[in-house]
Structure 1
Amino acid sequence: MTGKTRRRAAAALALAAAVPLLSACTQEPSAHEAVRDFLVGWQTGDYVLAARRTDGDEKKVRQALEDARVQLDAASFRFELTGIRRAGDEAEADFEAEVDLGENNPLWEYDGRLPLHLVDGRWKVRWSPGVLHPELREGQRFAVKVESESRQPIVDRNNDPLQQPAKMHVASVVPSKLDDAAGLCERLSKVTGFPQDRLLSRIRSASPSDQVPLVTFGRLRFAQLRSELEAIEGLEFSVRELAVAPDAPTQVVGTVTAVTPETEQQLGGPQRAGDTVGRSGLQKAYQEHLTGSTETSVITVDLKTLQPVAELAKWRPGRTASPVRTTLDRSVQAAADGALAAGGPGMMVAVQGSTGQILAVGGTKEYHQEKDPPALAGKFPAGTAFSVMAVEGLLKSEVDLEQKLSCPAERTVGGARFHQTGALTGGTPTVKASFAGGCVTALASLARRVDGAELTAGAAKFGIGAEWTLPLKSFSGSVDPLRTDAATARALAGQNVWVSPLSMALVAGAVSSGTWRPPVLVTEPASQDPADEAEPVKTVPPVDLDDETVDTLRSLMRAGVTSGSARAAAAQGDPVHGITAAASAGGKPLSWFVGWQGDVAVAVLVQSTDSTAGAAVAGRFFQKLGEGA
């Protein structure tokens, strides 16, 4: 059931309750009967009943009532009689009118009056256009003007727009120029799929001299339909340039298209503010904010000059369209995209360590999905990058980081078998060296010395499994149950710990700042839904990390770049801290880098057999960032 159908049903139900009230609110039953029949007939669409209670030509009255409904594109009329005054053979009734102007439009409320007089002993409504509205005169009609706000931009943290202009093609008509509006709408409906009745009502309710947009097309869709559209007599075309083509990160910013028959039902009405709809990313998540509301006016129009005469009412329901301000930084994004372009398939997320604000989200075409970007929502094994979160558990278990710990090619722990590609050089390494070099077999061997519950609790302090939310789908991570030595060993090797590049970038940010913070992507508006603006925003509190854990991690992750497998991440400027890790998902080898420079923390995940591939991308990123990308 459509919104308009529901409103008509509601109006019919309300009428049943209203009729007894109409029959009881006056002491003049004869005049009351005329008023009651006229208003009930008008409200229910029984224009024959209404016309017979007037002194006018019944055919003309019926047509005038029908025209009022069409000109207002009204879903329903509702009336309440408020009083009747009589003076001899004359009387006057006061009523309150409520006109439902349909989907996405307001209720128009106004006070009306019905003059009555006795005609051959019967009370009749003295007919004139003023019966429909006190300001409507002979030679005039109603019309509804609709003005949409332009779609507002999505901007980065510096208010730079994250989209470029794109051409949209608008098919419109001037009602007064049409010989056959119904025929035009029938042909346009067949070509486009938009409902014929809604297209026609849009034309009939508009001011006759106005340019009335009916359908908006994107460039490709217009090219496909152009010959059929141009064959429809009376249809006119224009080009609007709207800033809707997404800049990087396109997965996050999202795409925008013209309203289609499918989205029309979702949004209501044949068109909507800006004639565009977000199909993915933030454009979809913040559709209501970016398009705002439509300004609607009810006016009277002179039928000879076709010019407006008076404005009877005006609304802008809802909220004014507003930009969406993100935490993204175009320069950081450019550095991320440039760094990824020189490597294999991969993803990268950069955050501000001190705030958790997302600065950049990058991904090559292999990891480029409009829906649920893998860099934010992907579920990947952490590999030995989990060792960052395991350090606190190791320290509580009094593991000596300077202890010698062999890094064999293979090792079995609790029945679980582990394989290390490329043994560490320089004799038997220490625990610290195994951390910096990402030795799977060495780290797994610590399973019998570490409580699995401690590892899970340590991961939680770094936000793994935290219930933070973003306007786009995201994954905070999870740890499988660690009930055996084998499960604990697999966790130390990161084989049963699941993370996204975003969650690992936040881990790096936590070590760099000493506090884990939930991610932030949008700073304005406060809520995706305008209706929730007054509601308090639910947030996940930050978690301060143990000082000893932070100091140890900073030392270990600095060693990862200076002497470990993350050396490729080294760059000019502030010292780079980080570690590499190898993992595998779906039979594809993966290379992690998790680290930071200054206040920019990153997680890089590259599909490669080279365990240092992620560090190489990070090194290029930090270099480009230092050069100003």
Structure 2
Amino acid sequence: MVTGRPPRTVAAALALAVTVPMLSACFAEPSPHEAVRDFLVGWQTGDYATAARRTDGDEQQVRRALEDAKIQLDAASFRFALKGVRSVGERVEADFAAEVDLGENNPLWEYDGKLPLHLVNGSWKVRWSPSVLHPQLRDGQRFAVKIDPEGRLPIVDRARDPLQELADLHVASVIPAKLKDPVAVCEQLAKVTGFPKDRLLSRILSASPKFAVPLVTFGRARFARLRQQLEAIEGIQFSIRPEAVAPASPTQIVGTVTAVTPETEQQLGGPQRAGNTVGRDGLQKAYQEHLTGTTETSVITVDLKTLDEVEELAKWRPGRTAAPVHTTLDRHTQQAADAALAGGARGMIVAVQGSTGEVWAVSATKEYHQEKDALAGKFPAGTTFSIVAVEGLLKAQVDLGQKLACPPDRTVGGVRFHQAGAPAGSQPTLQGSFANACVTALASLARRIDPAALRDSAAAFGIGSSWTLPLKSFSGSMDPLKNDAATARAIAGQNVMVSPLSMALVAGAAASGTWHPPLLVLEPKSPDLSAEAEQAKPVSPVKLDDRTVDTLRTLMRAAVTSGSARTATAPGDPVHGVTAAASRGGKPLAWFVGWQGDIAVAVLVESTDSTAGATVAGQFFRNLRQGM
């Protein structure tokens, strides 16, 4: 999280560089101005001895009061600007504007102050009282800062149900007024946790004395590991705060959350208060600022004798209010996808709504990652790419009913293609070869299709599109088509790389007649994207040619009713789809790309059986039908 504010030490230096010349310019002649100048510059720069000498108070007490004000406010810096000096008889008063940087990603506290001056033995002195520090500060009082962090809000599914489950966070707190030795407590806590002891101490010294101050928050495992050492620290008390941070399925898309640690502090761009949580991955990391919002901060006065709070001087909650992240994920569809892969298959399923491109489910077994593989993985498309090639074939006036044999081997442009056993019942036509995913037959059409037309078709189906998602994703790529061999390999999907997400969108385009870019989050519209992503132009839907869509529906229905995708059959609306065999890294892979109703899917599983993906898809569609 980047706040845009300078670090604590840098902030003080900048304040001095900007303000001192302005202050000095106001005091050209010996006058009350010199006393005002020396006092404000001394206070601002931490030269409290000089500031104290310009008052009529006890120098040691004034110096300590200025030091204490900085500690009580846990201030990174003070900046002052003189507004004017008024003289009424022998009484002189200077007006100034104060700007206090409260640090720890807190806001600037701005207020107007007054410096009463009078002559003491011929020298102008600031008439000292606590009201010099702030007009409402009285004798017997001190400053304090109250912090109320806004709780982390959930990531929710399309029905706005949380995609997190409750998990216990353990909070270590202290009540400042009850501590015998705050310094010792912070030294011990820093040794156990790794948090800087000076930051822990500053939180205690700036807090309201009678109220518990959270210092460190632990997840269950870390607390269990450190519990014995923590309980040995006198004055530390513990509480359990249930918070919805454990991700529900799809866990790697939703992302994990942890309590802030010394290591994760840097990820958020500066010191964080106990109770803050940080998204480590997934949407929790992408939307860290949106989910956590800001912290309510109050500056108060406290009675030094009773330690009761007296008056609130300022209160604000700056910046963005936290908001849930509303996703397109559908719990029912996700459960159906998870259950379909629970039967022993190793692989992935991505399900989208064909008419919108909304991602409804992303599921993967432990061998694969839901984001890195299902959304952003790069896999050979195999003959599922024939879906895309159909448009180019139609433009070339290829007759789908023409005879087209499916031999075990065929050479095109010097490249050998092999069909691993012609499917039983295959028909020697283009339609039959499409339905049965015949590599050798489809590759033989390379000379009939214009490479430029094939590239245009790929673009129409989103292959290589520049969409942006809040998570990593891959839209696909195709090698240059320099000759017949390259074109044949493209039709066979051997030099075309895709992700399960990109192929689910291809199926959605065939189902709805329009290709839609993917959508994973409905609100907010975008996370904090990189500069490159922010400059990317929005990707628009692409309406497909009606003839192409009608032909694809016919071909992909035939593949389910009488071709290699027969195991995808399920009750309800007709299932359309195709299968393909591929391999990556020596692992045999089986694709199914298709749809039922408005739910389009891409299934990719490890198997030597090219129909294995269709089998998993059929189980997925049956799960949806059964209300799983």
Q: TM-score range by the shorter chain?
A: over 0.9
Question: Whole-Å Cα distance in 2 between the matches of residues 428 and 536 of structure 1?
Answer: 50
Structure 1 residues 594-616: Cα deviation after superposition (integer angstroms, max 9, x where no partner): 00000000000001001111001
Corresponding residue SS for 2:211: coil
Structure 2 residue aligned with 1:226:
227
Structure 2 residue aligned with 1:453:
452
Corresponding residue SS for 1:589: strand
Q: 1:271: Cα distance to partner?
A: 2.6
Taking the TM superposition and a 5 Å limit, the aligned residue runs for 1:12-27 are: 12-24=16-28
**1:274–1:291: 8 Å Cα contact kept in structure 2?**
no
The one-letter amino acid of 2:48's match is Y
Between 85-94 and 610-619, report the one with greater CA deviation.
85-94
Taking the TM superposition and a 5 Å limit, the aligned residue runs for 1:402-481 are: 402-426=401-425, 429-481=428-480
The one-letter amino acid of 1:73's match is D
Question: Whole-Å Cα distance in 1 between the matches of residues 516 and 305 of structure 2?
Answer: 67
Question: Whole-Å Cα distance in 1 between the matches of residues 274 and 364 of structure 2?
Answer: 32
Question: Whole-Å Cα distance in 2 between the matches of residues 338 and 87 of structure 1?
Answer: 84
Taking the TM superposition and a 5 Å limit, the aligned residue runs for 1:381-400 are: 381-400=380-399
Corresponding residue SS for 1:373: helix
Q: 1:396: Cα distance to partner?
A: 1.3
Structure 2 residue aligned with 1:215:
216
Question: Whole-Å Cα distance in 2 between the matches of residues 626 and 65 of structure 1?
Answer: 72
Structure 1 residue aligned with 2:295:
294
Taking the TM superposition and a 5 Å limit, the aligned residue runs for 1:147-546 are: 147-272=148-273, 274-368=275-369, 372-426=371-425, 429-529=428-528, 538-546=537-545
Question: Whole-Å Cα distance in 2 between the matches of residues 205 and 398 of structure 1?
Answer: 80
Question: Whole-Å Cα distance in 2 between the matches of residues 49 and 306 of structure 1?
Answer: 31
Corresponding residue SS for 1:366: coil
Between 275-284 and 402-411, report the one with greater CA deviation.
402-411
Instruction: Mark the CA change 1:396 to 1:528 in structure 2 (over 3 Å): closer, same or farther.
Output: same
**1:527–1:537: 8 Å Cα contact kept in structure 2?**
no
Question: Whole-Å Cα distance in 1 between the matches of residues 270 and 172 of structure 2?
Answer: 16
Q: 1:272: Cα distance to partner?
A: 4.5
Question: Whole-Å Cα distance in 1 between the matches of residues 208 and 25 of structure 2?
Answer: 37
Q: 1:492: Cα distance to partner?
A: 1.1
Between 230-239 and 241-250, report the one with greater CA deviation.
230-239
Structure 1 residues 226-255: Cα deviation after superposition (integer angstroms, max 9, x where no partner): 111111111111110000000000010000
Question: Whole-Å Cα distance in 2 between the matches of residues 274 and 592 of structure 1?
Answer: 45
The one-letter amino acid of 1:542's match is P
Question: Whole-Å Cα distance in 1 between the matches of residues 548 and 127 of structure 2?
Answer: 89
Q: 1:186: Cα distance to partner?
A: 1.5
Structure 2 residue aligned with 1:3:
7
Structure 2 residue aligned with 1:126:
127
Corresponding residue SS for 1:422: coil
Structure 1 residues 520-565: Cα deviation after superposition (integer angstroms, max 9, x where no partner): 0000012213999xx9994211000011110000000000100001
Question: Whole-Å Cα distance in 2 between the matches of residues 247 and 424 of structure 1?
Answer: 41
**1:319–1:530: 8 Å Cα contact kept in structure 2?**
no
Question: Whole-Å Cα distance in 2 between the matches of residues 537 and 138 of structure 1?
Answer: 60
Instruction: Mark the CA change 1:240 to 1:106 in structure 2 (over 3 Å): closer, same or farther.
Output: same
**2:104–2:273: 8 Å Cα contact kept in structure 1?**
no
**1:273–1:292: 8 Å Cα contact kept in structure 2?**
no
Question: Whole-Å Cα distance in 2 between the matches of residues 395 and 504 of structure 1?
Answer: 21
Q: 1:343: Cα distance to partner?
A: 3.5
Structure 1 residues 16-49: Cα deviation after superposition (integer angstroms, max 9, x where no partner): 322323315xxx8321111111111111111100
The one-letter amino acid of 2:263's match is E
Instruction: Mark the CA change 1:446 to 1:121 in structure 2 (over 3 Å): closer, same or farther.
Output: same
**2:302–2:309: 8 Å Cα contact kept in structure 1?**
yes
Q: 1:427: Cα distance to partner?
A: 6.7
Question: Whole-Å Cα distance in 1 between the matches of residues 551 and 466 of structure 2?
Answer: 27
Corresponding residue SS for 2:144: strand
Structure 2 residue aligned with 1:585:
584
Instruction: Mark the CA change 1:286 to 1:419 in structure 2 (over 3 Å): closer, same or farther.
Output: same
Question: Whole-Å Cα distance in 1 between the matches of residues 187 and 214 of structure 2?
Answer: 16
**1:350–1:603: 8 Å Cα contact kept in structure 2?**
yes
Instruction: Mark the CA change 1:273 to 1:319 in structure 2 (over 3 Å): closer, same or farther.
Output: farther
Instruction: Mark the CA change 1:477 to 1:224 in structure 2 (over 3 Å): closer, same or farther.
Output: same
Query: What is the identity percentage for the equivalent residue pairs of Structure 1 and Structure 2?
Result: 73
**2:349–2:363: 8 Å Cα contact kept in structure 1?**
yes
**2:426–2:563: 8 Å Cα contact kept in structure 1?**
no
Between 152-161 and 258-267, report the one with greater CA deviation.
258-267
Query: Taking structure 1 as the reference length, what is the TM-score of the superposition?
Result: 0.96
Structure 1 residues 157-191: Cα deviation after superposition (integer angstroms, max 9, x where no partner): 00111010000011111111112212211221111
Question: Whole-Å Cα distance in 1 between the matches of residues 269 and 556 of structure 2?
Answer: 54
Question: Whole-Å Cα distance in 2 between the matches of residues 374 and 464 of structure 1?
Answer: 17
Q: 1:368: Cα distance to partner?
A: 2.8
The one-letter amino acid of 2:238's match is F
**1:149–1:274: 8 Å Cα contact kept in structure 2?**
no
Question: Whole-Å Cα distance in 2 between the matches of residues 208 and 531 of structure 1?
Answer: 43
Structure 1 residues 288-334: Cα deviation after superposition (integer angstroms, max 9, x where no partner): 00000001111111112212111111111111111000000000000
**2:426–2:432: 8 Å Cα contact kept in structure 1?**
no
The one-letter amino acid of 1:172's match is S
Between 170-179 and 79-88, report the one with greater CA deviation.
79-88
Structure 2 residue ranges without an equivalent (≥5):
none
**2:375–2:499: 8 Å Cα contact kept in structure 1?**
yes
Structure 1 residue ranges without an equivalent (≥5):
none
Question: Whole-Å Cα distance in 2 between the matches of residues 149 and 408 of structure 1?
Answer: 67
Corresponding residue SS for 1:574: coil
**2:260–2:274: 8 Å Cα contact kept in structure 1?**
no
The one-letter amino acid of 1:338's match is A
Corresponding residue SS for 1:365: coil
**1:327–1:523: 8 Å Cα contact kept in structure 2?**
yes
Instruction: Mark the CA change 1:537 to 1:298 in structure 2 (over 3 Å): closer, same or farther.
Output: farther
Structure 1 residues 247-280: Cα deviation after superposition (integer angstroms, max 9, x where no partner): 0000100000010112212325543485210000
The one-letter amino acid of 1:326's match is T
Question: Whole-Å Cα distance in 1 between the matches of residues 86 and 383 of structure 2?
Answer: 88
Structure 1 residue aligned with 2:555:
556
Corresponding residue SS for 1:29: coil
Structure 2 residue aligned with 1:616:
615
Structure 1 residues 310-364: Cα deviation after superposition (integer angstroms, max 9, x where no partner): 1111111111111000000000000000001113110000000000000000000
The one-letter amino acid of 1:160's match is D
Structure 1 residue aligned with 2:105:
104
**1:443–1:492: 8 Å Cα contact kept in structure 2?**
yes
Q: 1:63: Cα distance to partner?
A: 0.3
Aligned length: 622
The one-letter amino acid of 1:468's match is W
Q: 1:428: Cα distance to partner?
A: 5.2
**1:475–1:500: 8 Å Cα contact kept in structure 2?**
yes
Between 301-310 and 565-574, report the one with greater CA deviation.
301-310
Structure 1 residues 574-626: Cα deviation after superposition (integer angstroms, max 9, x where no partner): 00000111101111000000000000000000010011110011100100101
Q: 1:89: Cα distance to partner?
A: 3.1
Taking the TM superposition and a 5 Å limit, the aligned residue runs for 1:75-114 are: 75-114=76-115
Question: Whole-Å Cα distance in 1 between the matches of residues 8 and 390 of structure 2?
Answer: 62
- Aligned-residue RMSD, C-alpha: 1.7
**1:301–1:310: 8 Å Cα contact kept in structure 2?**
yes
Q: Does residue 607 of the first structure (1) align with residue 581 of the second (2)?
A: no
